[in-house]
Structure 1
Amino acid sequence: MYEPIRTKSVHSLTADDTVSYPHRTREEELDLQLAGHLSALLAVTDELGLSEDGDRIAREIARLRSTPPVRHAGLSAADPAALHHRAHALAGRALVVAASRADTAAAILAAERMDAHTAAQHLTAAR
């Protein structure tokens, strides 16, 4: 009734194909993702001029990547309220990834940054 498939599936990998691209574990992928979110948060934090908070974030990035991050040097002159809103969102993303990889230190840092930017948003809105 049905004719058997005579060619190899294009969806299966041959033994040679598995060596041709790098493989990462789930933990390595989460480390990279968390470091990326924290790097974006660091850029916004530096733009806001929060150097002490930026140093704490930079230490976390260095722990995850085993190298210190490049600090943001340019300023965009964006509205501080918009920067606080963006930083809050980035800290939230970092918190989700830190929680999924069970990284308590990064989760605490991200939650503290979320709280700080929420407070700053309320202060900016009250003016």
Structure 2
Amino acid sequence: MKNYQPNQIRNVGVCSHGGAERTSLTEALLYSSGEISRLGKVEEGTTTTDYDKEEIEPNITIHTSVAPCTWKDKKINIVDTPGYYDFIGDVKSSLRIVDGALLVVCAASGVQVGTEQVEVCK
């Protein structure tokens, strides 16, 4: 495993309202970087970041998960946060440690309550 210098490491949060496909985006980023060889699916319980039984059965993210990958000789820690308002405390805690965040908005539903709550956390 390569040793990275602090200036080569970035922590990026992925946030959204529940159901906006945040975990699917995280999975696609891991696949595109070559970190994983197949795309997992939330519906099948095969994603990298939703591995707990509590998350697989209801198809929701309950716990923040960190998934490391490399891109252009940099280490990127993708921080997949919960989307439902019940877990906003976990999202707020996660946003304190990231360098930047992706705020995912569902094209069909638009901005929802969870989206607004994440925006307030900035």
Higher normalized helix content (fraction of residues): 1
Higher normalized contact order (CA 8 Å, seq sep 6+, divided by chain length): 2
TM-score (norm: length of structure 2)? 0.36
**Bigger fraction of residues in strand:** 2
Pick the structure with greater CA Rg. Answer: 1
Question: TM-score under structure 1 normalisation?
Answer: 0.35
